[in-house]
Structure 1
């Protein structure tokens, strides 16, 4: 009987140790998984911050880039912020009422669609920064601000507009200076 009791006690101790070992391994696995998840989340957050943060160029780099592309620039120091502000020459194309306005409604609608596609393409290609119509019914119908190095180029791009080609609009292009990178508000 004592031999059976000893075997039984040893078996109980063995089983108890095995269960305790499983429980502690389970805790280790849960803790490890938790730590790995925290570390991964931290790495993801850092990666997102790094990827979202724009790489800033120096004033010298911006000036060199613009002048190498043929843009006219100037700069000044802002008295409040003491930052150097780069001014760039852009070109404003005034789209004026043209002499040929006798298109029927369908032709005018097709020209308008082609006109908007042209302006969208100018924006996508980086040649125009903003375009839009005026809200009145005056002779000046709208403007486009071209971000190109020469007036000749701005004039050529504006003349490629289907509305201008059809004579429904005429263009008048003027050089215009603005601070580089300042957004509209």
Structure 2
């Protein structure tokens, strides 16, 4: 009986030990600088951009608003608030693009989307939801700057 209990206890403890394997390439300084949790992950807010209700804007108005939209994207990226942004290809769901905000709450993301001229003019509408992803995603903007031959 004692042997059975000891065997079960040993099996449980060894399983726990194997399940939590240490990462030999772990960089504590980098993890802390990116606010990574023990899994290298963190909270973000995912934003789905869809076609808005404004269908009466002229081409000139739309062009000006989307120039402001791009300027706002660049501003938020430089501030470290926007980690990923990009358009969808043509689709039948009125999906226009995505943002992944480097903030923890939907309320913070709402304040950021409110600064976008195309959203203010209802050319675009948003859906926001909390998202959990790799903290390394924040490094994307720095890398992108090194590979973009032409800037927006």
Say yes or no: TM over 0.5: yes
Residue 167 of structure 1 corresponds to: 122
1:94/1:144 contact within 8 Å kept: yes
Q: With a CA cutoff of 8 Å and minimum separation of 6, indicate the structure with the bigger relative contact order.
A: 2
> 1:11-60 CA distances to partner (integer Å, 9 max, x unpaired)?
xxxxxxxxxxxxxxxxxxxxxxxxxxxxxxxxxxxxxxxxxxxxx96269
List 4+ stretches of structure 1 deviating above 3 A.
none
Residue 152 of structure 1 corresponds to: 107
SS at match of 1:164: helix
Q: Which runs of 5+ in 1 are unaligned?
A: 1-55, 67-72, 76-84
SS at match of 1:117: helix
Residue 62 of structure 1 corresponds to: 32
For residues 30 and 77 of structure 2, the distance between their equivalents in structure 1, rounded to whole angstroms, comes to 26
Q: Which runs of 5+ in 2 are unaligned?
A: 1-25, 141-152
Residue 116 of structure 1 corresponds to: 70
For residues 60 and 114 of structure 1, the distance between their equivalents in structure 2, rounded to whole angstroms, comes to 34
Quote the offset at 1:149 in angstroms: 2.6
SS at match of 1:96: strand
For residues 99 and 61 of structure 1, the distance between their equivalents in structure 2, rounded to whole angstroms, comes to 42
**CA separation of 1:100/1:61 partners in 2, compared to 1, >3 Å: closer, same or farther?**
closer
- When the two structures are aligned, how many residues end up with a matched partner? 113
Identify the structure with the greater helix proportion: 1
2:42/2:134 contact within 8 Å kept: yes
Instruction: Give the TM-score normalised by structure 1.
Output: 0.55
Aligned CA-pair RMSD:
2.5
For residues 98 and 180 of structure 1, the distance between their equivalents in structure 2, rounded to whole angstroms, comes to 31
Aligned ranges for residues 40-119 of structure 1 at < 5 Å?
58=28, 62=32, 66=35, 74-75=37-38, 85-119=39-73
